[in-house]
Chain A
Amino acid sequence: MDITFKQVSYTYQANSPLATPGLRDVDLHFASGSYNAIIGQTGSGKSTLVQHLNGLLIPTAGQVIVGQQVITPLTKNKALHDLRRQVGLVFQFPESQLFEETVLKDVAFAPKNFGKTPAEATAIAQQALRLVGIGPELEAKMPFDLSGGQMRRVAIAGVLAMEPEVLVLDEPTAGLDPVGREEMMQLFARIQQERQLTVILVTHQMDDVVRYADQVVVMEQGHPLKVGSPREIFADPTWLAAHNLELPSTGQLVARLQQQGFEFTTLPLTVPELLAQLTPQLRQVPVDG
C-alpha cells in the first residue's frame, strides 16, 4: 500500500496559547512493500509522524494519502475505521496495552472490533500467535502471567491479527536483550516478506537500519531533513555528527582505521563489508598448499 505525505503540518494544541509545532511541511513517499526506517533524536517528530499513518492524528495542514484514502484536516473520525485496520501500529512497550483475561482473547480483540465473527477472530488470533512464536499452551493464560518478552510478542500478535497491509513499528525492541532484539527484528523481516507488507520502523538502532531498511528518513524538528538509502544516509560521518546521529557500530572503527592510513572506497556498514575491504590491505600468512 503506497503512502504519500503532501505538505503535511501538524500543530499540537492548535489555536491555543500552548500551540507547539509537531510537524512542518512534510513531503514523503513510502512505496508499497518497502521497508522504511525513520531516525532522528528524541523529540524530532518521529512519533508524531507515524501517528498520522492511521489517523490517530489528523494533519492541521496538507494531506496524507494511504492507499485510496485521503486524510485532510477536515477528515472525520468515523471515516478512519477502515484505515485503522489496514495500518497496524505497534507502539513502544506495546505490552502495556494488554487487558483481556486470556492471551487468545487479547489477540482476538482487534479482529472482533473490525467486524470478524468470534470464530473467525479466534482463528486469526491463533494464526497470529503462531507467527510470533507463542504456542497453544499459552493461549489460555493471563497475559500478565507471561514473561516480559512473551508479553511483547502477544501484543505484537494483537496488531498482526488485524491483518494490516502497513506495519508501523515504534522502537519495537526497546528494553529487549541482544538476542531478543535480533529475534524480533528477524520476525518482522520474515512477516514483511511473507505478507508483502509496507513497514515503517522508528528506531535508534543504526545497525538495524543498515540491515533491514530500503529507505531512511532523517527527522529533525518536525521536518524530514534527508531521505535516501542507508548507504546515502551514512555516507557522510561529519554530517551525521553535526545532527547528533550515530553511525552503525562499524562506523567508529572505520574512522579509527582511516586515521591510521587505511583506505575505504565506500563506507563499510556491516562486518562482512568491513572485512572484505580490510583484508586486501593487510599482510596475510601464506597458507600451505
Chain B
Amino acid sequence: MDKLILGRYYPGDSFVHRLDPRLKLILNILFIILIFIAQHWPSYLLLGVVVVASVWASGISLSFFLRGLRPMLVLILFTVGLQLFFTSGQHVYWQWGILSVSQEGLINAAYIAVRFLLIIFMSTLLTLTTQPLEIADGLEYLMKPLKVVKFPVNEVALMLSIALRFVPKLMDETTKIMNAQRARGVDFNNGGLIKRAKALLPLLIPLMMSSIDIASDLTTAMISRGYRDGEGRSRYRILQWRPTDTVILAASGVLTVGLIVLERFL
C-alpha cells in the first residue's frame, strides 16, 4: 500500500505546486477530453511531451512516478489484456476458443495502454502537487454553478474538508485500537482469510464507535460556534488566481486547438 502514490501529496514549492487548484482541476478534465479526441500516434506523442514537461516542471523525479505506477500495473495489464484478446479483427495472428489476437486488437491494446498511462500520470501529478484542502476548495469553486439546481455545494465542500482533516486522527485511532487488541491476543497478520476477516471485527467496531463520538463532539462544537448551514457564511480562505494561471490556461487553449487541427489533417 505504501508504494501507491496516486492520491498522495508531495510537499514542494515548484511552478506546478503554485498553480491555482482550480486551474489544475480544469486542466485535468481538459486533458482527459484531449486524450479521447486524439486518435493518432502523432497526437499521443504531443500529449506525451506535455506530460513529461509538466512532470519536469513539478520538480518530482520521473523515476518516483514510475515506481508509483507499479501497484497500478495489474489494472493496466488487465484492461490491455481484455482489449488484446477480445477485439475481433480481420488479420488474426492467433486464436484459441473465443480468445484471439488480431492486428486490430494489438493496435487497440496499445492505444488503451497509452491513454491509461497518460491519464494516470496527469491525475497523479494533480494530487502530488496540490494539498487535499486546496483540491476541496477548488472543487467548491468549480461546483458553484450547481447551486442553481439546489445542490448543497458549500455543505459538500465543508464535509470534504472535515473528512480530510480527520484522516490523520482516524489513522492514529486505528493504530491505537490495533495495539490494544493485539495486546489482548488478536493476530491481524496470520491465519486464513476467514480468521483474518474475523480479526477485523474488534478493530472496526471500536473504530466506528469512536467515529460516532468524534462526529457528535464535532457537531456540538460547530453548533456552539454558530454553524447553521452553508448560506450566509463568509470565507477566510481564498484562492488567488495569478497571471501565470491565465498564461497556462491560454497555452492549454492553444494546445487544444492545435490538437484538433492536427487530428483533422491526419
Chain A directly contacts chain B within the complex, with at least one CB pair under 8 Å? yes
Binding site for B on A (CB under 8 A): 51, 54, 56, 77-78, 81, 84-85, 87-89, 91, 94, 96-99, 109-110, 113-114, 144, 158-159, 162
Main secondary structure of the interface of B (DSSP, over half): helix
User: By the criterion CB–CB under 8 Å, are A96 and B185 in contact?
Assistant: no
Please tell me the number of chain B residues within 8 Å of chain A, measured between CB atoms.
20
CB distance from B117 to the nearest CB of A (A): 27
User: By the criterion CB–CB under 8 Å, are A96 and B184 in contact?
Assistant: no
CB distance from A121 to the nearest CB of B (A): 11
Binding site for A on B (CB under 8 A): 173, 176-177, 179-187, 189-190, 201-202, 205-206, 209-210
User: By the criterion CB–CB under 8 Å, are B205 and A85 in contact?
Assistant: no
**Interchain CA distance A57-B24 in the complex, whole Å:** 42
User: By the criterion CB–CB under 8 Å, are A97 and B206 in contact?
Assistant: yes
Complex interface: chain B residues within 8 A of A158 (CB): 184
Given A51-B179, A96-B180, are A81 and B206 also a contact pair (CB < 8 Å)?
A: no
Residue from B184, B185, B189 in contact with A97 in the complex, judged by beta carbons closer than 8 Å: B184
Complex interface: chain A residues within 8 A of B183 (CB): 54, 56, 84, 87-89, 91, 159
User: By the criterion CB–CB under 8 Å, are B182 and A56 in contact?
Assistant: yes
Complex interface: chain A residues within 8 A of B180 (CB): 89, 91, 94, 96-97
Residue from A54, A78, A85, A97 in contact with B190 in the complex, judged by beta carbons closer than 8 Å: A78
User: By the criterion CB–CB under 8 Å, are A113 and B177 in contact?
Assistant: no
User: By the criterion CB–CB under 8 Å, are B206 and A159 in contact?
Assistant: no
Q: Can you give 27 contacting A-B residue pairs, CB < 8 Å?
A: A54-B183, A56-B182, A77-B189, A78-B190, A84-B182, A84-B185, A85-B185, A88-B183, A89-B180, A91-B179, A96-B176, A96-B206, A97-B177, A97-B181, A97-B184, A97-B202, A97-B206, A99-B202, A99-B205, A110-B184, A110-B185, A113-B184, A113-B185, A114-B185, A144-B209, A158-B184, A159-B184
CB distance from B158 to the nearest CB of A (A): 27
Residue from B185, B189, B210 in contact with A162 in the complex, judged by beta carbons closer than 8 Å: B185
Chain B residue nearest in CB terms to A112: B185
**Interchain CA distance A202-B179 in the complex, whole Å:** 17
Complex interface: chain B residues within 8 A of A159 (CB): 183-184
Complex interface: chain A residues within 8 A of B173 (CB): 96
User: By the criterion CB–CB under 8 Å, are A96 and B210 in contact?
Assistant: yes
Chain A residue nearest in CB terms to B204: A99
**Interchain CA distance A54-B181 in the complex, whole Å:** 12
Complex interface: chain A residues within 8 A of B210 (CB): 96
Q: Which 9 A-B pairs have the closest CB atoms?
A: A113-B185, A99-B205, A97-B180, A110-B184, A89-B183, A99-B202, A91-B180, A114-B185, A99-B206
